[in-house]
Structure 1
């Protein structure tokens, strides 16, 4: 008996998003490596933690597709784009990636709504809320760097920014700990 509760279209779209989240993780990982190479160990650590959060999102998509009787498909991932040339470019790229991810999540919500797949629509609401937080996080990075002086910031300002991000709280919830009552 076929127990798959997802349409082929939605199953593929959710699998694609799982792979996108995995690519996002690798992208943040590469930015973290770039920051570490430049001596920004706090910023690097912050980006590495964010890479783990993106991987947790990929796992959340995988688990959902499996729980609905589908089979997620893992695809080959391209290498992350070229590394940033400055902290401003790095943080701008983080924001760009989050906006692109928000657009992808909205497309999934549209598909679920169109297909009247209320379970998937409900599942995706967690990601809608998460993307508000992700975009805010990215805008905060840009704002903090601007306050520090942007690409012309003093070494002291950059040191303070680096230390601040190193000790920033890690609010990322593990995907496997999410429940209906605590998404």
Structure 2
């Protein structure tokens, strides 16, 4: 594997673990605000982001590339309302999409078709991640100021359950 592609994938592992850390801070905010459904949503997201890091890790190991874990940056969040974490999540998912696109472009430059194929799952996943984040922002803007609607949204978020990412499930 090209050294630049390997470096970017190693960095992506760190970004995915940071994502889990960031989303746990969102879950903490919602838990403290009494919005346990939104807290559940983000704790489920924590598990997904951890899965993403593991998928990248496994890919490097399968390609005989050393996994290099860097430190995870601390998260400092202070939100004024339930909309703010949702907007931060959308912004973060857009950042992750750009990062994955950067890996894809680097793989394309060196004709690393195997990595490009591997990244296809993540490209599709990011479409879903951004759509979910965008929908949550939109719903909160439309309905979040009404306490009854916020309660209903929180109850809906509480129904989200963790499902192991398909590349990990297929590896078992």
Is this a same-fold pair by TM over 0.5?
A: yes
Tell me the equivalent position of 1:154.
Answer: 146
Tell me the equivalent position of 1:77.
Answer: 72
Q: With a CA cutoff of 8 Å and minimum separation of 6, indicate the structure with the bigger relative contact order.
A: 2
Deviation, structure 1 residue 86: 1.4
Where structure 1 has 5 or more consecutive residues not aligned to the other structure, the ranges are: 1-5
* C-alpha distance in 2 between matches for 1:175 and 1:82: 32
How do residues 1-183 of structure 1 correspond to structure 2 at under 5 angstroms?
6-148=1-143, 150=144, 153-168=145-160, 170=162, 173=165, 175-178=167-170
Runs of at least 4 residues of structure 1 off by over 4 A?
169-172
CA displacement 1:140-174 (0-9 Å, x = unmatched): 111221231x4xx1222211111011113545525
CA contact (8 A) 1:56 1:174 kept: no
More helix by share: 2
Tell me the equivalent position of 1:3.
Answer: none
Where structure 2 has 5 or more consecutive residues not aligned to the other structure, the ranges are: none
* C-alpha distance in 1 between matches for 2:135 and 2:163: 15
CA contact (8 A) 1:59 1:175 kept: no
CA displacement 1:7-54 (0-9 Å, x = unmatched): 221111100001000000100011001100000001001110011101
User: How many pairs were matched up?
Assistant: 171
